[in-house]
Structure 1
Amino acid sequence: MTAGDTKVPGEDNAFKAFMSALYKTVDAPVTWFRESIVEPNQQKYPWYHQNYRRVPTIDECYSDDVVCDFEANAQFKRDRAVDSEILSILRQRYEECMLYETPDHLTVCKSLWDKYKDAEEAWFIKYGDLGGYADARKCYMKQKHRMIWEKRNGPLSDQTK
């Protein structure tokens, strides 16, 4: 080992030293942000989505209770968004299976198709024909009218087959 061999590990030449300095100028703020802001918040909130408490449904609210009505509508809209996303995921899974398994997709993907159709039917029973401005009260009235119709005429699923 001679007197000129005093090298810093990882910085063999000027180019590597420049690239290391450039990397550190970009990486340091990102690392600081993650370690000081993101990770402490993850310890307080272990979920990446917000968990809402369940509130009374619209049938449990008094007719003049505006706050309960608002909370029931907000919960209804969240539930509808979740159910719509579940339906979208099931549809996407079936379409991917269909593309991947062609030409045998009718037999291989049948279970995914059946799950999707059952979920679609359940979604339509609850949310179908309500329109874009649906709220919890309209959905509750739809459910009530369906139950009255089924009490008078029998289950709807028996008549469609």
Structure 2
Amino acid sequence: MDDDTPSPRNIVNRFAQALSNTVQAPVIWFREKVVEPNRKTYPWYHQKFRRVPTIDECYTDDPVCYYEAQLQFKRDKMVDNEILNILRQRFEDCVLYESPDHIRKCKPLMDEYEKATENWFIKYGDLGAYGNVIDAYMKQKHRMVWERRHGPVGTGMKEAPVEVEVH
């Protein structure tokens, strides 16, 4: 029992306190002596989540796997958003610091930011605010089918092969 808690004043309060102690004491002891010494502690900003199976590895009748894949997708999107924010901030700082020569001196940062933006859009673009892991998977699938049929996205469609009749 904590030292700062006042002692019970009547028999009902004493009984309630005794009952509470008999239920809570083993739980508190187990947590303090067994669980906490054996747990790895991470600061909240460095918490490491284990990677879960992706949506393409889930069975169709496994809602728990779908849910875990969705949470993993949300975490990955938040990380990618922060990476973009950091790259954009670095470029803006470079422009402010290096002006008027920023076009030449900040070009590598701008190229890196543009490549990261392109990759972000390939993965998350056009999904909308409520896009989920299944939508992203279907987008990836459709992109792969397009690239197999027509070449890389942005290069235009392949011309249909012209059949030449031989007599």
With structure 2 as the length reference, what TM-score do the two structures score?
0.67
How far apart, CA to CA, are the structure 1 residues paired with 2:48 and 2:127?
Answer: 26
Equivalent residue letter for 1:102: S
Q: What corresponds to 2:141 in structure 1?
A: 144
Would you say 1:105 and 2:99 are equivalent positions?
A: no
Structure 1 runs, 4 residues or longer, greater than 4 Å off:
none
- Identical pairs, percent: 61
CA shift at 1:44, angstroms?
Answer: 3.9
The structure showing larger relative contact order (alpha-carbon pairs under 8 Å, at least 6 residues apart) is 1
SS at 2:46's partner residue? coil
Note the C-alpha offset of 1:45. 2.1
Distance in 2 between residues matched to 1:143 and 1:44, nearest whole Å = 36
For 1:90 and 1:158, locate their aligned partners in 2 and report how far apart those are by CA, in whole Å. Answer: 27
From the two aligned structures, give the one with the greater helix fraction: 1
Residue matched to 1:26: none
For 1:46 and 1:134, locate their aligned partners in 2 and report how far apart those are by CA, in whole Å: 31
Deviations 1:106-126 (A, max 9, x none): 000000000000000000000
2:59 is matched with 62
User: If the length of structure 1 is used for normalisation, what is the TM-score?
Assistant: 0.70
2:46 pairs with 1:49: yes
Q: CA deviation at 1:46?
A: 4.7
Q: Runs of 5+ in structure 1 lacking a partner? A: 1-39
Aligned to 2:53, what secondary structure does the other structure show?
coil
- Mapping of residues 60-99 of structure 1, within 5 Å: 60-99=57-96
SS in 1 for 2:131: coil
- CA–CA separation in structure 2 for the residues paired with 1:52 and 1:62: 22
The structural deviation recorded for 1:50 is 1.1
1:126-158 deviation per Cα after TM superposition (whole angstroms, max 9, x unaligned): 000000011110000000000001111011154
Q: Given residue 88 of structure 2, which amino acid in structure 1 is its aligned partner?
A: R
Matched residues in 2 for 1:69 and 1:46: separation?
27
Q: Give the deviation of 1:84 after TM superposition.
A: 0.6
The separation in 1 between residues aligned to 2:42 and 2:146, in whole angstroms, is: 45
User: How many residues end up aligned between the 2 structures?
Assistant: 120
Cα distance in 2 between the residues matched to 1:63 and 1:137: 12
Residues 158, 73 of structure 1: alpha-carbon distance in 2 compared, 3 angstrom cutoff = same
